[in-house]
Each structure stands twice: as C-alpha cells, then as structure tokens.
A and B are shown apart, each in its own frame.
Chain A
C-alpha cells in the first residue's frame, strides 16, 4: 500500500509543481513584479523600494530558490488591502469553500445514484428522460445565469430565500448548493446510469438472480457495488472541477470562500492574496487526487490485488 501511495504522490506532483513554477515564471519573467504587486498608481520610488525589499533585483535563480522556500513556508507576503499575511486570509476562507464543496458532492452523489439507478432499471422510461434532461442541463446552462435566475425567482419574486451571505443559517445554503450541484449531478447521473446498465446485464447479476436473490439485493449488493468504482473516478474529477463553479457561485452569493477571495483580489490587484489562494487550492487538489486513487483501490479489488503484487 505504501508503494502505491508513493507512486501516486509522484504522478500527482507534476501539476502542483507546474502551478507553483507557473505562477513564478508568469510573475517574474513577463515584466516588472513591482507592477504586479503594487497598485497601478504607485510612485517610481515606491516601486524601487519594493523591488529591493523583496529581492527582485537579485539574479533569477536566487529569486526562484527564495520563492520556493517561501511557498513551502506558505509565506506569500502581506495583503495590500488589509495588511494581513496572505496565507492567513486564504486559510481562513478555505473551510467555507470546503464545506460548500463537501455538501454539494454528497448531495450530487446521492441524487446521481438514485436517478441513475432508476433510469438504468427502466431504459426509455421516465427516469431515463429525467436523467438525460439533467445531463443536458449540466452541459448547456451557465451556472452564473442559473444563480441569477434563482435569486430572481426565490429571493425577489417569492422572497423565501436570502439573496446572498451566510447569515440566514440553513436557508442561505439552498441556492449556492443547488447551483453548484447542477454540473456534478448531471454528469454523474449519466455515468451511474451507464455503469448500472452494464452491470445489470452482466453474468454475475444473472447468477445472483438465478440463485433467487431479491431485486433490492441484486441492485444494491451486486450491480451498484460494481458500478461504483467508475462513478467514483468521475466524481473525483468533478470535485476538482467544482472549484470553477465555486469561484462563480461564491462571488454571486457573497460566500466568504476561496473563490470569492480570488476574484476580489484580482479586481483589487492584490497579487499576494491571489497567489496564496491559488497555491492552497492547488495543494488541496493534489491531496484530493491522491485520495481518489486510494478510494478507487479500496473499492476495486482488482486494483487492490495489483497493488499488493507490486508492493
């Protein structure tokens, strides 16, 4: 298992390094870093002082080493807006996004499993139509528009849900999660449906049926258990993609998470905070990718055996 974990870590590492190095290259090689970090109306003197203080006048290699050391210490400098350390701001925002993402993914998986199974049991039936409608919506409706539509209908016309913020308790979760769920639920339903149709037509389900196992047992114990691994892999990819939606949803609903922090720091040209937010997101994606592979290995005994043989 440890060998497996180590190999997975090595293959998931390049994206993380690419992001960390990419930010460095983009920030240092494409112009004056002082122009990036300082507001646009900073004086020439302020720019020079800033460059000297942060070592931007040093050769590029020593800058790179300094930069990597800073990243490993999660030290991205201080925010121009608040004067707080950027990493502290990013870490403070992170749990809000994580909560949103976890609840969304759990609900999306539950909906996808239910609708996907229903659709697979009766192809061309009502469940099938709902599932293809869901996947079509997921692929064609912009999430920001859906969010605006939700605010218009439920907050302005009906007045039952708050327009933004987190103060209204449970009610303030409804719209952000409903919007964020759209894409993962739609895609996952299609995957579960496909995997379940394949599983229900397979020999082991026929054997289970011929042994007289009840319908519920056949569906849950035999078919669903075997349909789970492919769905889990897709769910992992979708969870990574959720960050795209989180940026949009958080900035519309004023959710104090990492996506809103990113957009705010872009619009107010606060590069230190942007960098911290991006780095923390990259690290969590790295951890998530390893988690997905581990989960896959635990669910699929064939992978588990191969891992055992390799170790």
Chain B
C-alpha cells in the first residue's frame, strides 16, 4: 500500500489521476444510467442536478461542506495510517466511540459555551484515540494484523453503542428504543452562516477540519515523528536500523488516526446530530477510507477528496429529487472512483498522452 505514497509524488500522480478517475467514474455512471433504460435527457438532468445540488447555491455548498467535514477528519487519520504502513479499517468504530463520549459529555455537564464545546471535542478525540490505541498496541506487541483487529473492534463498537444507548442515564427519557439524551445547547458547534440564514447547516466543525489538514500536513512532513511514520511505512526493518522504535511509532500513528476519527464523531454529534442513535456513524468511517485513497494519503489531497465526496452526497440528493435518479447511482460512482484510483496504471494506459 505505502509505495503509492512516495515523498516525491509528481503533480500528475497527486492531481491528475484523481481528477481523471472522478471524471471517468461520473461519465461511466451516467452511461450506466442510459444503458439501464433512462433517456439521455434524464442523464443530462442528473448531471446538472448533481452539480447544482453540490455547488449551485449557498445552501448547496453548505450541504457539501457539512457532509465533507467528518469525511475529511476521519480520512486524515486514515492517511496518517497509510503513511506509517497501516491499513486502518477501524475509523467507523473510532467515530462511534468518539461520538458516544461527545454525547455523554454534551448532556451531562453544565459548562459555559466555548469551554463545553472544547471539552466535548477533546473527549471525542481521546476516546477515538484510545480505541485505535488498542489496535496499535496489539500490532506493536503481538504482531496482530491491524486490518483484523480494527474490523473486529468496529463490530464491538456497534454493539457497545446499542448497549450504551439502553443504559437509563444515557437513554432519552420516555423512550424504549436506543436513543441518547440530546446534548445541551452550550455543547453545540455553532453554524458558520447562522447570521445569514439559520438553516444553513455547515458548522464550525468544517473550520476545525481545515485546521486539522494543516496540522497533519505539518506533522507528516515537518516533524520528527512524521518522518518516523513515513520511515516505518516505507521499510520497517530499515527504520529500526536507523534508530527508530517501530513499535512505539505504530502505536502513536494508530492513536493519532483514532484521535482524528474520534474528532469526526464528536463533530457530527456537536455539529449536526445533537444525540446518538444506533446508525449515527452512517458508514462515514468506510467512506473515509475511499477519501484517503482518493486524496493519495496527502492532507491537501484528502481535503479536496473529502469535499468531492461531500459534493456527491449533497448533489446526489438533488439528483434524486429533481431528476428522479436513485441515490444508489452515487454509490456506484464512488465505487468506480476507487477502482480507478486503486489501479493508477489503468488510467495511465487509458490516457497515455496525458502522462507522457
């Protein structure tokens, strides 16, 4: 995996391949639509709706950024893992743990406005980090493969969530189904464009995600620990000879990944949901893997890939409303993007004149 992400990625690798992959995937998706019996007029309508629903108005942009926020945060964590040679499938579980911690802090403490939010986000990040730490520690100490342990921990997280939501001091009063109490107003991340229109949902979590992009960029490329991540990811044995402690590095990389995923969970809770339900993680942890791959595990790439995926989600909604095309087409497009990204050689073969 890690050899895709060399330090000297060329412009072509970072920018061109993802752009071409996206373009190809959308075109193929629309072709699929036509082959499955829709008229080309509907396909065109779908394409326009996809664009208008994602960038066509302030509220569309707001929806795009809202959907992108948790994807960017969790994908940054996965990108750190890729850099250190770790394939972290556990973002979903880490999001759940982070979100759960955020909910509990959010409804049970009475604190002033800004402090409460900081406390909520910190709790989310710490719980996410702790959950990923388990996988990192298992890998470092016992050699257990992180793909296996993170998948297993995801399943445990789902059941933990079901269990927690039925505990009486967490469960919402008067309800039998698993749903948590709502967080207090002081724990909510404020909406960015509140003054303009209170219905624009994009919240300050998006700004946090952008700051996280810069911090992770600095961490990976301008700090010793970032260098160690990359060294271990490239060649674990060589890094050991170079005086790096790979076990410790793996634990730190995994924990940072979990910290970011936990933050994603907390920002979902504090930014848009306000409470936890069994499905609140909504598969974001898995979509984030795709975002990290599309972003070539580069923080800036992840930012744009996250916004693109957010746009597909927001645009897909408009596509179903106005062109009556099923949202499943978006899943197909996302999957096609990943296929093209996972096979960069394919794209270079398809468009040799661009890469020569």
Instruction: Say whether A and B bind each other.
Output: no
Q: Tell me the B residues contacting A by CB distance below 8 Å.
A: none
